[in-house]
Structure 1
């Protein structure tokens, strides 16, 4: 490791001098497994709510890592330290090895939260350094360069050097020196020697009906009298009736010992209450003891989740979810063509006398229902990454790693509706009137907002589909038709939004491409039961439907090859589906049966890239012998003037 130069900030506003950065070890020998940062408060037991530590990178003068300090309190010496799990004594809060960059960089203490310093993992850019609400700052560097840009922005001056066996420590006079690291204690060796209590469980998640031990360990043997430890487990919806006290919530570590444990049994009820989170919270400890890792979250998975009869987008089913189309809803479209057909469709889905506009905060609650994984009602289905994620893992902080969030299929900035609605949910029974010119309502229109992996959402960013964005590596395209039909809806619902051919720049306002690809995707990835169920649920909130899910062929009559032709419901797939066409088994290996038809029909099999691999004309029913490589295929069945599309998986 290289030698480093460190710097610190002299603050001329001492109104917040009750809390300072007391020590940092940003570069340790080996694999950076002993990094930590320490704060010190003037008064002991000082609550750190409303503070955040922000680490800035010199190269782009922006944040790359934050530690939100809400819920933490300094100890009886006024110390709170945060670091890698191997730091001893155990940090009050832990972070991954190598989280702190070796420099030249700066760490700063602010009044605020992690939400004030968002970080985009896909572009490796965060929030620009600022002196707004700045409390204290400390800069460090290698021996050849200094974070001069950050120093200028944050008014930091040089302090001293450290090597990989030292940390930089604040002295009582406010200056700094390099010494052997002293995590968790006063830098001058004064104060009360604290015996830290650490809590461990064998896992961080359990299923209803399981039991597990909570192990309590002190750094040094208990002296004078037995250590009594009281804990609580309740948290939000996780209540006292969710666990059985096979173990006590009051435990003792005897004098001379360092450890004890208690057993907790998770109650297995028979109702789907959803996944929950237990909070192991240590109550007040005697003088001389402190919790090293209090407020531990344990995920409790509900085993009573609901499994639907229909499939996921990766294993789709068709015709099992009936559309809840009100009687006469689309009648006005019959016999129309071209612009008149488009206008009539807009008159339905943007009707100011009927349609409800909800806000962006409501979308969270809509997605938790509309985007549920059909195989587990306690999960949402993430569209691009084609996988489920627990509903509990909705993003609430600044990090988008390991969580899901709300993805606008028509990007907010390109649609011109960024921040167009309130982010505070007000429920299904509160809405605003809307119309076709109300572009701001696109900000909270659930027909084009999906549950998505947070990091992949950032990767897609403002890109067009098709030529520009085609999902993460290995994507099977199970979402292609979904985004196409969502964009067709948006372009008709809101005046001013357009779908165009090609790949316009990602900052092009009010336009999105690639229309040709979207039209192809609409055919290759037909609307399935998952999409229909979603359409039905969103209707209960917005009182409008996505007509391109109900009648996918409409896209060709408004945007594609059939523009100008007269629309008639006799041409729709809906009538063909009513013939109860069956394509099975799915998934399959070496054969495929197609039944439920009358008279002569034709079947064609295509790869998802559009290559025809099999074709056959048959009457009523056929059994196809397959000799295909594993993967997903499109089945096109034509009967008279009606065509139906299905996707199958060959294993």
Structure 2
């Protein structure tokens, strides 16, 4: 008999405890894709929630669509318990999922003394064992079925102030009705809080060179438009074009022109509750393209070269260098993988920055096709269209003044004026293969034009053009395509750019490579879809292989183990292999399927 009295007393205490649990706040409509939804219960701090279930009802059919058991849960030290989207939860909170878990209305939330199994989806609302309930919407017509089924008389409007995504429904101090206000997540509903939040940050380099660059910093915000805010930064210039927290509910604060190596602190204050700070860490704005480098201009026809990966427009504002259809070729030079680009004058120059070469010799090669010389008015020296380094080596195109006007000569020099032009004349609409080199240690400049097939892929022959830089640069890290005035720049196509530290890096001759390979190396399968390639030679000495992507970035550098190179980490595409053994070096295309 005593046991019965004890059980009865326990039931009465539980009933009283459950009766004190209320739905304190609900935010069903939040900014963006609804990733900040929550239901906040409130009661006696530390009280157990065993025996309770939270049920969600859909006003479109007046039945339940989710239920969450609270067994094993307790109210926290402040008397709160949270059910929320994934980004908001912590501790013992119940995860409602990443987003869009609470329907915006007309819908309802109810707390019952029951189990979730008592409320399978599609269950009608009831007042049996009901502890608390709220019927809500966002300017929706009343859900009379839910109101009647839950014994409620009022459907509360989260959009009462036309700001449903930035306000929530909160139980008033008397516990008699709900108010539409700025969310007070895990706080008392009458707590004074800063409504603005600073969230994710970014830092993007404006350029990536070996010198000191600038970057642009951003910080996203939400809860704006609720006060007058002052935005400052301890470096750079504040730009509120993409979001002003004094006006916009959400947006992005931008700070431009921050010096690389300097972290920037962005501060937002309103002279009252809000005194927020967010620090954006400086990125490292260094070139990441290694050598040897190959650029086949495999981009969309009509695109601006300066918008492509690793390229940057750094001078001029009109007439960018465009990607054009088709590619240029030279006998026995490895085939192009993409399109080409077109220069015609107009003052926009594009540059490619790579890992600096600080000693020895740097080589570059490319193919040009001059389409039209008729616009050139500077007949003294024409103009220069290619630059290696900080104007250390320049390629000049000079129109010949014969009666036909369809030939030109070429100079490769350090000079800022055309000089030392070739005696050989080159024809409009012919592909011309050019190799240039610069010795960082001595300032020596060499140039080759249309080298013989037998010289490709081996060692450099005697140069056709030579010059000297009497004040050699300490490093070379830039390649420039230059469009001077229309009176100095011919209409021309440019393709097959290669940059490396040896003649063989920039003159890959398919014929000569195959001959060397036949004599010394065997590479198979190629193309490969097996995750490996076999590389063998006539000797058992170590074979080293470096693999580069088409932009020249090194992606593998390994010694061959048991004649097998593991390429399983490479994605589908075309790569360049540099294979070396006992001083014998070849380059070879690798195709991964």
Relative to its length, the structure with more strand (as a share) is: 2
**Structure ID, larger Rg:** 2
Instruction: Tell me the TM-score normalised to structure 2 length.
Output: 0.28
Instruction: Tell me the TM-score normalised to structure 1 length.
Output: 0.25
